[in-house]
Structure 1
């Protein structure tokens, strides 16, 4: 079974104190664990995908325009990864290893409108590890799509977080009880 890590929306706009749609301290508190898991996958040369929300300023057609303030606008530092994760990316420099991939996504799920499924299939990946934010939005929608496509899932409980503590807890239960995901800590 080949594994891949998907780092979902761990951006300044979603995590940093001054982020446009920040989940604040809960998201900041998982920085060390997200970075640790990322480093582990990198050292083992396992596939890593950064699935990063992107929006165009004043897009009247995007469904999130009515739901949330502008965030993760193309070309802004709001789309940079938060903290140590951005430092990890900067250390890679211009020549990223073949096992690390960047995907712009315009919907909650990392599968919708991206080549993620094809890239996973090409590499024979059947098991996905999910980290990032928000547990009950983009992590949830990505997990449901992965489940529906037959992938085995591991959710790293101490490397996902949300705006909403109740939504976070509910989503963790949903991953385990409805998607058969392995929800792990540490």
Structure 2
């Protein structure tokens, strides 16, 4: 693997690890499960996060807005995803579905960015500020969904001048075609590296031993 990651300047951006998305019983898990199981999403997320922490790579949570009563009711232009959240009460604040998966809980030293309303983890949040204040130049974007929040966050990161890595098997989408679009068609237009979890873990181990 050609890419190298200095732990002092690298962060893993964990996008939307909510129970509603990635836990059995979550509102969106039935739609995500086939692809998630096919790519080994949860195991690969565990691998990436554990290896990042072991190497001293900072972990930053990039959460979607947690729905609460009144959200979007008076908006002029809510998008289709926001309409769906409004109807289903996805990621409802104070609910089990609006909590992070038990295996992906913030730990001391992690950063939890402000919640994003749309798809980019940067728009109208403090994510860029947090990255800059922590000296981050390289971001590794994982989580869900591959073709919406992961892609949008990665694109925005590139526009802001960050080195962007996508991890094919540490994300998932509702359809295999969406994964293909995210990693084979769209990803190469903005990401500096598109890897699999095993290669990233090896790169993090090498970074740790060389630091």
With the length of structure 2 as denominator, give the TM-score of the two structures: 0.76
Alignment partner for residue 80 of structure 1, among 99, 112, 120? 99
Q: Does residue 27 of the first structure (1) align with residue 44 of the second (2)?
A: no
Partner of 2:57: 46
> What's the CA shift for 1:149?
0.7
> What's the CA shift for 1:70?
2.2
Distance in 1 (CA, whole Å) between partners of 2:25 and 2:42 is 16
Q: How does 1:94-173 map to 2 (within 5 A)?
A: 96-98=107-109, 100-103=110-113, 104-173=115-184
Unmatched 5+ stretches in structure 1: none
Superposition RMSD in Å: 1.9
How many residues align? The count is 177
With the length of structure 1 as denominator, give the TM-score of the two structures: 0.86
C-alpha distance after superposition, 1:145-182 (max 9, x if no partner): 11111111111111011012101111102454211431
Unmatched 5+ stretches in structure 2: 1-5, 199-211
Work out which of the two has the higher radius of gyration on C-alpha atoms and give 1 or 2: 2
Q: Which has the higher strand share?
A: 1
Return the structure number with greater relative CO, CA threshold 8 A, min gap 6. 2
Distance in 1 (CA, whole Å) between partners of 2:20 and 2:165 is 25
